[in-house]
Homo-oligomer: A and B are copies of this chain.
Amino acid sequence: MAKELVFGHQNPDTDAIVAAKAYAYLMNQLGYDTEAVALGEPNGETSYALDHFKAQAPRVITTAKNEVDAVMLVDHNEPQQSVADIAELNVTHVVDHHRIHDFNTSDPLYYRAEPLGCTSTILRKMFIEHDVEIPAQLAGLMLSAIISDTLLLKSPTTTEQDKTAVVALAKIADVDYETYGLEMLKAGTNLDDKSAAELIDLDAKSFTMNGHEVRVAQVNTVDIADVLKREADLRAAITEENAAKGYNLFVLLITNILNSDSEVLALGDDDSKAAVEKAFNVKLADEKANLPGVVSRKKQVVPPLTEAFN
């Protein structure tokens, strides 16, 4: 069987890195020849998790066709979030927890999506279905991914299955998930050493919404005001990014992980900003608005924004 690469989305978060490692491990146990790789370096939060469980970061790739013909995607399916040469590759497997969009194949494939908080929650079920044991180190990483995606089980994307998985994985990894989880999330909010350009690209994804190119970035913090001290720099970086990449709209979500509120900064053309106002039923003031309780890009930002553009 020819080797396949397994990877998550660009600007990888903890789930994108960990799900690739977990799925590659599972598939290799099942007789496939796979390697987990990543489409970027781990962020601060992911590095904390990898260090804590003494695990290696996956090798970073920018193209895949030079190495393999076929790939497996985790934690994404939309082509613009994937490897640059995705159109030339045969996607044989997908495990994901997002909407399906612009994902077309010419052949049948394995596709497993569930509307759960985290890809790693689905993967834990797949380990059980295939009767493959999850090693303690991997359990710690998968636990970290679920904590990351669900903001310690507080995001509205959180399901009972995510909670069950966290408890079970914490037991295998032998950690107190609440203490560990808060430390890990805080490690991801240390943004002082990032430039404004790095900050708006740290956890950012592109979407096509009714012909509009939309970029939705999110930064986690324990103090929104602290991030907004750099508002002028952030605006300049976003304006530059919109011009360079041709985005109609850039939405920056600054999320307080302690109280689950977000401030949104929306820069783009007038139509797109009107869509933001419609999506969240708010009036932007100076292109900003407070969005109480909004923490999930996937569940609370992308669907209403897609709807507003349609």
**Residues of chain A at the chain B interface (Cβ within 8 Å):** 97-115, 129, 298-299, 302-303, 306-307
Residues B99 and A106 in contact, CB atoms below 8 Å apart = yes
Q: Which residue of B lies closest to A98 (CB)?
A: B108
- List 25 A-B pairs, Cβ < 8 Å: A98-B108, A99-B104, A99-B106, A99-B107, A99-B108, A100-B104, A100-B105, A100-B109, A100-B111, A101-B104, A102-B104, A106-B302, A106-B303, A106-B307, A107-B115, A107-B299, A109-B113, A109-B115, A110-B114, A111-B111, A111-B112, A111-B113, A111-B114, A112-B112, A112-B113
Contact A108 B97 (CB under 8 A): yes
Q: Select from chain B the residue with minimum beta-carbon distance to A109.
A: B115
Whether B113 pairs with A110 at a CB distance below 8 angstroms is yes
- Cα–Cα distance between A307 and B107 once the two chains are bound (Å): 10
Which of B110, B113, B307 is close to A108, meaning CB atoms less than 8 Å apart?
B113
In the assembly, what is the distance between CA of A97 and CA of B99, in Å? 19
Do residues B108 and A299 form an inter-chain contact, with CB atoms below 8 A? yes
Q: Give min CB distance, A244 to chain B, whole Å.
A: 27
**Nearest opposing residue in chain B for A105, CB measure:** B99
Residues in chain B near residue A129, CB distance under 8 A: 129
Are B101 and A108 in contact, with the CB atoms below 8 A? no
Cβ contact of A99, chosen from B109, B115, B298, cutoff 8 A: B109
Which single residue of chain B is at the shortest CB-CB distance from A91? B100
Q: Which 5 residue pairs of A and B lie closest in terms of their CB atoms, listed nearest first?
A: A108-B115, A111-B113, A106-B306, A99-B105, A106-B303
Closest chain B residue to A106 by CB distance? B306
By a CB distance below 8 angstroms, the chain B residues around A100 are: 100, 103-105, 109, 111
CA distance A299 to B107 in the complex (A): 7
Bound complex: CA A178 to CA B260 (Å): 60
CA–CA, A109 and B103, complex, Å: 14
Cα A303 to Cα B108 in complex, Å, equals: 9
Q: How far is the CA of A115 from the CA of B303 in the complex (A)?
A: 29
Contacts of A105 in B (CB 8 A): 99-101
CA distance A298 to B105 in the complex (A): 12
Q: Is the CB of B104 within 8 A of A115?
A: no
- The CA-CA distance from A277 to B197 in the complex, in Å, is 52
Closest residue of B by beta carbon distance from A114: B110
Most chain B CB within a 10 A radius of its CB, from A98, A109, A298? A109
Chain B residues, CB < 8 A from A303: 106-107
Is the beta-carbon distance between A110 and B106 smaller than 8 angstroms?
no
Known: A99-B106, A112-B112. 9 other contacts (CB 8 A): A99-B105, A99-B107, A106-B303, A107-B115, A108-B113, A108-B298, A108-B299, A111-B111, A129-B129
